[in-house]
Amino acid sequence: NAGVTQTPKFQVLKTGQSMTLQCAQDMNHNSMYWYRQDPGMGLRLIYYSASEGTTDKGEVPNGYNVSRLNKREFSLRLESAAPSQTSVYFCASIGQGLVGSNQPQHFGDGTRLSIL
């Protein structure tokens, strides 16, 4: 199935553990994004990658790192998980057209992460 695939779907960690969330898209999109969703706060951008080989901080980057492994894959790493990072994480991608901002982002189904 075409689209954005996130793994795992669920994960429980202990404080201080590390983990990498995986994201892959098969739509040949240039730009990829990581968001976190918390109740009443919508989605907030953690990091994004406008194109292969580049990454930039979003609104809430602290405590996270990212890697744009290739055009398809964009991973999010928690080096030392904290309870405040309990959230639902969404990966998204967007193609680049002549008028890039008119195109919608395509979202994965999310990773539900709990940190005890």
Partner 1 sequence: GNSVTQMEGPVTLSEEAFLTINCTYTATGYPSLFWYVQYPGEGLQLLLKATKADDKGSNKGFEATYRKETTSFHLEKGSVQVSDSAVYFCALSDRAAGNKLTFGGGTRVLVKP
> Which chain residues interact with partner 1 by CB under 8 A?
4, 31, 33, 40-45, 48, 50, 56, 58, 90, 92, 94, 99-110
For partner 1, give the closer residue by CB, 40 or 53: 40
CB atoms within 10 A of CB 34: 28
- Shortest distance, CB of residue 73 to partner 1, whole angstroms? 17
Tell me if 73 sits within 8 A of 79, measured CB to CB. no
For partner 1, give the closer residue by CB, 67 or 105: 105
Q: Which residues contact 15 (CB under 8 A, 6 or more apart)?
A: 81, 82, 83, 115, 116
- Shortest distance, CB of residue 107 to partner 1, whole angstroms? 4
For partner 1, give the closer residue by CB, 19 or 45: 45
- Shortest distance, CB of residue 84 to partner 1, whole angstroms? 18
Tell me if 60 sits within 8 A of 84, measured CB to CB. no
